[in-house]
Structure 1
């Protein structure tokens, strides 16, 4: 049986912005499906990274997980997403979330109801990207006859991130895809997918796309490097999070996430990874063939 998982690589802000170009070009040359960029406070701009990666490549899909909605007005987000979607049609996947509340507080944009803001932002953003004129007056999002002059020429998938039960329910209700956190066990993934898909079914929708991230290391001291990496993401070694070892070990971990409901998996290099382009080539040449021959 052949798996249909999309295999990608994540450029995480533990690596400097200037390392992105070589990674993007190597990931595309290696035949990977996706390149995912992040927006973490106060590290790197997700939209700037996505725009650069799209410009440096021709085929690979570039995903952005996630844009914290308190940091931007809905109109600005719509303009930014529409510009990239028109310039690189079919290759950009934006994702939005309510942000890490501690960071939102540091930025002076923390709200008392993050999920209300995410709902209002997502609903208005979707209408703007569809080319509608939007007038709305919500608790947080207010627009007066706003319409994009240059909306996307084709539908743009709008993915949402979630961890807690209420966030996952909102993803199922409104999202075109679910973006999961990076340090989850397969059981965590399975439970999150089930919750989001149940909410989608209750809303009369179908949630098919699920993006998961797998922290992985290979080469010398792979397990030691993985164990040192996990605490940076709030995870403890020995709990079945991440993968360390050769291509077969990493492919097996990817398949476990697919069995738990993921349809796209991005491999996240550790902060100690010395050669990001070589790691991308390893994934394309050695890990990907194992996923297309074994299900």
Structure 2
């Protein structure tokens, strides 16, 4: 099975209040985007001006407000704040309300969203093992009734999800390293990662790991959707396009700089110290639509099929209309 090329909108839950975010996402459908993805964070990257709506009720509102877009999480952590059974129930409900339109994107999580609740934050191997087990349990609950599950981390006793998805809810795995990427290739319906990193991360690490996972799972390359969150700042005014990236400066922090940071106040302090050039370094910043599309095409040429665009500016209506008028038509013409 080969997945179609799709262009989506990243609903920036960390930046906008829930109602505003919903309005922008409805507009995204109107201007021609194919999908909307939202992160499920307990805390935002920035304390001042930050937001963190709960993704699951928000997706319910989005489904009721739109007609055709695919919608999902990029990503949600089904292993600490939530028991996997709760996620199976919630996405079973969403899948029955909006059949064929819901995707569950999952990942191993970040301390910022979990440790603040007093949850012990384990090392990467345990987080990875928990994610594998959680996915197994979620899929079992969707497939069977009266599930008694005895895992290393999660247990159920005669559990039934009574409102299962009326059509399959694909599970996508978000990854920035080879282990989770291999897992996505082996068992998931999709693979999620982000743009703006060194090219060799994609060509020498992630995409080879995905291919390895596909081979281990006995699957064809087209069996897994490849979703890339593409960080873009497009505007006719270059200085505006550059300055729009400031709110998202935390994304430019290295893993070492933000390792174990659990407080958005501290995350904001670290990010505010970055020069604007570094804050913008994860983004394609441009004013020329043809040059902009040319740089996006590099990711299509790598084999990514589902590009979800994250515009960093506070004026999302301006971003969506510019993208709908000038960028999406050029991308579809490719």
Please, which runs of 5 or more residues in structure 1 have no aligned partner? none
Distance in 2 (alpha carbons) for counterparts of 1:98 and 1:240: 22
Query: Which residue of structure 2 lines up, in the alignment, with residue 199 of structure 1?
Result: 213
Report if aligned partners of 1:215, 1:268 keep a CA contact under 8 Å in 2. yes
2:64, 2:296 → 1: CA distance? 28
The alignment partner of 1:68 has SS state of: coil
SS of residue matched to 1:89:
coil
- The TM-score with structure 2 as length reference comes to 0.79
What is aligned with 1:273?
Answer: 314
Quickly say closer, same or farther: Cα 1:202–1:8, change in 2 above 3 A. same
Verify the 8 A CA contact 2:146 2:158 in the aligned structure 1: yes
Structure 1 outlier segments of 4+, above 4 Å: 237-241
1:150 to 155, 163, 170: 163
Q: Distance in 2 between matches of 1:217 and 1:50?
A: 25
Match of 2:7 in 1: 7
- CA separation of 1:23/1:131 partners in 2, compared to 1, >3 Å: closer, same or farther? farther
1:260 — aligned with what?
302
Q: Which runs of 5+ in 2 are unaligned?
A: 44-51, 254-277
Structure-1 separation of matches of 2:186 and 2:120: 23
1:83 maps to 2:84: no
CA contact 1:182–1:212 (8 Å) conserved in 2? yes
How many residues matched? 290
Partner of 1:218: 234
2:274: which partner in 1?
none
Task: Give the Å deviation of 1:263.
Answer: 0.8
Q: Does the 8 Å CA contact 1:130/1:152 hold for their aligned counterparts?
A: no
C-alpha contact 2:194 2:230 (8 A) present in aligned 1: no
Q: What root-mean-square deviation, in Å, do the aligned CA atoms of Structure 1 and Structure 2 show? A: 2.3
In structure 2, C-alpha distance between the alignment counterparts of 1:229 and 1:111, rounded to whole Å: 27
Structure 1 contact 180–189 (Cα < 8 Å) conserved: no
**1: CA distance, partners of 2:112 / 2:248:** 21
Aligned residue number for residue 71 of structure 2: 62
Matched residue, 2:35: 34
Cα separation, 2, equivalents of 1:194 and 1:245: 33
How far is 1:56 from its partner? 0.9
Deviations 1:43-94 (A, max 9, x none): 2212122112111111111121111121101111111000000101111111
Paired residue secondary structure (2:76): strand
Q: Cα 1:153–1:98, aligned 2, differ >3 Å: closer, same or farther?
A: same
Partner of 2:250: 232
Q: How many Å separate the matches in 1 of 2:295 and 2:142?
A: 36
Does residue 69 of structure 2 align to residue 53 of structure 1? no
1:37–1:49 Cα contact (<8 Å) kept:
no
- Partners of 2:72 and 2:94 in 1: CA distance: 11
* Cα distance change of structure 1 residues 185 and 240 upon mapping to structure 2, 3 Å threshold: farther
User: Do structure 1's residue 163 and structure 2's residue 176 form an aligned pair?
Assistant: yes
Q: For residues 185 and 223 of structure 1, do their structure 2 counterparts lie closer, same or farther at Cα, with a shift above 3 Å needed?
A: farther
Contact 2:22 2:62 (8 Å CA) reproduced = yes
